[in-house]
Every structure is written in C-alpha cells, then in structure tokens.
Amino acid sequence: MSFKFTAAHSSRIKKSSKPPSLKRNSSSSSPFSTFPRRKPLQRANTALQDEDEDLFNDRLDDVGLVKALATDLTLRDVAQAIKYIRGQMWSPMPEERAGMNSSRVAEVLNFRIGLPPIVVVSHVQAMLNSPTAVEREIAELVKGGAVRKVVVGGRGSIGEVLILGSDLDEMVKRSGLESGLKDKFIKVLHENPSALKIPRSSFEAEESKAIMHAGFLTSATGSWTTTDVFSRPGDGSRGTMTSIDSISRAASGSMAAVGGEGAVHNSGGSGGGARSMLGNGDCSLALPSTGPFLKLVTSARAHLVSLLGKSRFKECPESMLRQRWDGGIAGDDAQSSARRNRGEFSGVLPGRTRKWKQFYGMSFEWILGDCVGAGLLEVFDTRSVGRGVRAL
C-alpha cells in the first residue's frame, strides 16, 4: 500500500480534457432565443421602386387633352414654331460631371451640327393650336419661298419636313459644289418654290450627277418598281437575263434560272433603276444627312414609347416620364451636392445614360412633341399631378 495518498485523488471533481464549448446552452441563454429565427428583410431602393410603380395603382384623372404643347405664348406663326422646335431639340452639354471624355463630347457636337435643320410637319401641328390653320399658313409660306417642303420617305415614314428657305440656301453654299453650279441651283429653287421635284432639263447631265452626289437631288422613278421588269411584256421580251423567256429556258438549279449573277442590278436594285432613268423624268428634292436624322428620330420614338409601357396602364405623369427619359442623372441642387459630399448615391452621370449614349442628348420636350404629332402619344391634363402622357 502506497503512503502517497492525497485528497485530490479521492474527490469527485474531475477536469475535462477537452476545452469548454463556446456554444450557449438553450436553457441559460436569453428568453428571446426561443423565438423562431427569420432572415433579415431585404429593402429595395425606394426611389427606383416608386419610379416604376403607378400612383395609387389606378389610372390618372383625365379632364381634357392638351391642344398645344408649346408653353411659350409668343409662338404665333409657323416660322416661329420652326425656330422654337429647332432650338429645343438638344439639351445643353453638362459642364461638370458629364461622364464623357473630350473625344465623345466632340463626337456629340459634330453629330448635332451635321444634321439638317429640318422640322417634321406633324411636330409643328402639335405645337400650335389649329392643324388646319397651320396647313394653310405652311402653304402660303411655301408659295412665297420663306419655307421649303421636302418629302422624306423610307425609314420611319416621317413624311413631309420643313426647312427655312434661308437655311436651305446656306446649306447649298456650304456644300462642295462649284460656285457657278451653286448659284444656278439656288436660282432654280427660287423659281420653283413649291415644287417637290426639279425637272432634269434644268441641268446638264454632269451637273445633275454632281448635285445628286452632294445629296440635294434624288432620282424620281415614279411608280416604277423592280417587278415591272418581270411583268411587263415590253421589258420581258427584250431578251435580258432577267426576262421571263430567258429564265424559263434555263436549266433547273443553275444560276441562269434565277436571273444570273446581276439579277438584282439589272432589275433596278442597288441604284440600277436610277441609272437607267438618268436621262428622263424629274429629280426629287432631298437634303444631305437625312438618313442619320431618320434613324435618330425613329429609335428615339420607340424608346420613349417603351418607357411609357413600363406603367401598368401605359400612362404616367409628364414629370415621371421626363425622369425616365433623362435616366436618373445626378442633380445640381444643394441636396444632391450634400449627398455626393457624404459619399452617398445621388444619380448616374449623363454620359452613362441612353439619352447621351444613343440619342446625343436629345431633349425630352422635343421627342415628346414629335411623338404627339406622329400620333403615338397624347398629353392630357390631370389637375392633381400636372400633365399626363398616355400611349395610343
């Protein structure tokens, strides 16, 4: 028997070999631990949420349509309306926090300068009170030579546009035509103020070709279409590669069975019809850089209508639609400046919005008037939240 006997060996206190656990016992924790756990609520941005929600989840009050969109009471005739519409087409370039480098700023300014100074007829009618009176005044101004009317077809079906006579003369003077041809073309325009087509006999063949290359004339083919080559007996009996007689005799599956390699060119495509009729007929009056203008207006119309389609009833206050068009850019007021100083979000830079990236800073007032004149939207009075906009 060993005499080394202490009380420590006979006590019932035992040390645990493992470190104590850091987990709390349910019985010793706070009384709130028995409540079921829930995930924290994810709060969305209320500003963005309110922008896409309809007010009171109901339609806006409609107390009558707005007859004239122009807020300037000094507009009394078509000439003033044309200058007013041209003046409000573009938003001013932001001086600070633009979000665009110098190259992009130069690109935007050059694009604006390159567009022709034209105004759509329906846009003028939307700005003034009476469309009938506007049509009569346009006819008088065109007859007097103060305003020129040009028919624009193709993309977007814009129809007729107006340009001041002085602006058209200035465009001709700035063109690359010879000085003698410039004076001759301006003289022909003044002699035919209301004509939409210019006779080919007014110019020599080389002169007509030079004016066409400058963009002021296009070939007027009338009712001629590419199907006339296949359907008319006179054209089909000439023995060309695109005639019905030649195609019917060709072997099945060969290139000749579809008209040959130059079928599209021979039937008038890619300018073939215009070259074949260069010696007769009339030339339609045109304006340079009309294509970029048509593309810009068509895409801007579609974008504004799509913004209005985000609302449930496809209508919203004009102020809300303006915010959507601007893209939620940062403001210049004191509150926005204070939020920026605190490092909080106060809006995106203008250069990152579609208004400036795709539409080169087109103003909301201009595109709204254009869409109303085109019959895509209508503006009505709500009394409570100002003017409302509805898609048709």
Same domain, 318 and 261: no
Same domain, 305 and 342: yes
Confidence of residue 256 (pLDDT cuts 50, 70, 90): low
CA distance 151 to 299: 20
Same domain, 164 and 236: no
73 is a domain residue: no
Please name the helix (run of DSSP H) or strand (run of DSSP E) that holds residue 122, with its range, or none: helix 121-127
Task: Decide if pLDDT at 181 tops 50.
Answer: yes
35 is a domain residue: no
Same domain, 217 and 122: yes
Same domain, 55 and 85: no
9 is a domain residue: no
Per residue in 203-230, pLDDT tens?
898 999 999 999 998 876 544 444 444 4
The residue out of 214, 246, 276 marking a domain boundary is 276
Same domain, 55 and 155: no
Q: Which segment of 5-19, 152-166, 350-364 scores lowest on mean pLDDT?
A: 5-19
Q: What is the mean pLDDT of residues 262-270?
A: 47
Same domain, 130 and 260: no
The 10 Å CB-count burial string (b at 16+, else e) for 44-76 is eeeeeeeeeeebeeeebeeeeeeeebbeeeebe
Dmax over Cα atoms in the chain, in whole Å? 141
In the DSSP assignment, the letter for residue 150 is: E
- Say what the pTM is: 0.69
Q: Is 227 exposed, middle or buried (0-12, 13-18, 19+ CB in 10 A)?
A: exposed
Same domain, 304 and 257: no
In terms of residues, how long is the chain?
Answer: 392
* 192, 198 Cβ separation under 8 angstroms: yes
Per residue in 103-114, pLDDT tens?
999 999 999 999
357 is a domain residue: yes
Confidence of residue 235 (pLDDT cuts 50, 70, 90): very low
Provide the residue range defining the domain that includes 331. 47-68+292-391
The helix-helix angle for 179-191 and 165-174 (nearest 10°) equals: 160
pLDDT value at position 231?
43
Task: Decide if pLDDT at 74 tops 80.
Answer: no
Share of the chain above pLDDT 90, in %: 34
Same domain, 190 and 312: no
Instruction: Compute CA distances 31 → 37, 81, 296, whole Å.
Output: 13, 75, 66
Q: How many helices (H) and strands (E) does the chain have?
A: 19, 9
324 is a domain residue: yes
26 is a domain residue: no
In the DSSP assignment, the letter for residue 348 is: B
60 is a domain residue: yes
Same domain, 88 and 215: yes
Same domain, 83 and 222: yes
Q: Show the beta-strand stretches assigned E in the chain.
A: 119-120, 147-152, 159-164, 197-199, 217-219, 282-285, 315-317, 377-381, 387-391
pLDDT value at position 277?
39
Confidence of residue 169 (pLDDT cuts 50, 70, 90): very high
Q: Which segment of 89-103, 143-157, 165-179, 276-290 scores lowest on mean pLDDT?
A: 276-290
Count of domains observed in the chain: 3
The residue out of 289, 313, 337 marking a domain boundary is 289
Residue 227 phi, psi dihedral angles, 5° rounding = -75, -15
12 is a domain residue: no
Same domain, 214 and 231: no
The residue out of 215, 244, 276 marking a domain boundary is 276
Per residue in 9-22, pLDDT tens?
555 555 555 555 54
**Average per-residue pLDDT for the chain:** 76
pLDDT value at position 338?
67
Task: Decide if pLDDT at 368 tops 90.
Answer: yes
Dihedral angle, C-alpha 130, 135, 136, 141, nearest 10 °: 120
